[in-house]
Amino acid sequence: MVLYSLLLFLSAGMAGALLAFPAARDVLSQAARALGTRRHARRAALALAAFVLLGALPLAVLLGSGSNDPAPDAGRAPVRRPVNRQVAQLLEGEHLTPPLPLPPLAFTTADVTLVRPMLGGASRDWGQLDDTFSQRLLRVFQVMREQHGYDMALLEGYRSPQRQDQLAAAGPHVTSARAYQSQHQFGQAADCAFVRDGKLVISERDPWAMRGYRLYGETAEAMGLTWGGRWTMMDFGHVEMRSSGN
Ligand SMILES: [Zn+2]
């Protein structure tokens, strides 16, 4: 492919130079003058330039096409990336089921309402989430519980465009994303929190919760998800998957 690109580049460069610069044509003309009149030589130079441009370009494209699919025996060792064990288990087809939901009132207590005022109308239906995303998030929950001792709950998953606009209207301290500007509208984002003694813990001042958020972010990133804790407007409970699956 490098060879073809070089050929393409040289051909285009030569043709361009011959067409654009009379000096380049004159050099060719002088070389050809011995073979005929100047008029003929100039015409021959232009014809050669046109031939290179019109003939070599399709040839180079033709030769170059088909080489984009890497041949298995191309002589290069396949690139081996370390596969995260948790991701590998997901790829093996294990299907995780959502945890039992907390009672609806757990999401509208005074403590919760103080930090997340509009959770009453939020969807916590795992079935409305993208299947790949929900499986990765459930694996995060499992790792958090089994390896770090944190029980987690979904605060909000899918969010309708209407609700996204309502939240945006409440101000940038809630969200600055309007309808369809958030992965929540595509079922590929979730806001989560911790559960301690049967109660939701949504706090950036609680050291236990902050330790949990860091572990949650690390675990989510290991699963190929994006963690809102790294954003300028930090959103520690938010994780999302970009459409590409990365
Ligand atoms: Zn969110």
Q: What angle do the packed helices 22-33 and 38-51 form, to 10 degrees?
A: 120
Q: How far apart are CA 186 and CA 160, in angstroms?
A: 9
- Ligand 1 centroid–CA 239 distance in Å is 7
- Ligand 1 centroid–CA 94 distance in Å is 26
Q: How far apart are CA 67 and CA 1, in angstroms?
A: 7
- Ligand 1 centroid–CA 56 distance in Å is 54
pLDDT of the residue at 36? 46
**What are the tens digits of pLDDT across the range 29-72?**
444 454 444 555 455 444 444 444 444 444 444 344 433 443 33
Q: Using an 8 Å Cβ cutoff, are 119 and 159 in contact?
A: no
Number of Cα atoms under 13 Å in the Cβ half of residue 234:
9
**What are the tens digits of pLDDT across the range 200-237?**
999 999 999 999 999 999 999 999 999 999 999 999 99
Query: Tokens representing 1?
Result: 């492919």
* Rounded alpha-carbon distances, angstroms, from residue 54 to 42, 60, 112, 160: 18, 11, 70, 54
pLDDT of the residue at 243? 65
- Ligand 1 centroid–CA 159 distance in Å is 9
Residue 91 pairs with which residues in a beta bridge? none
Kindly give, in sequence order, each residue whose CB lies less than 8 Å from that of residue 73, ignoring residues fewer than 6 positions away. Answer: none
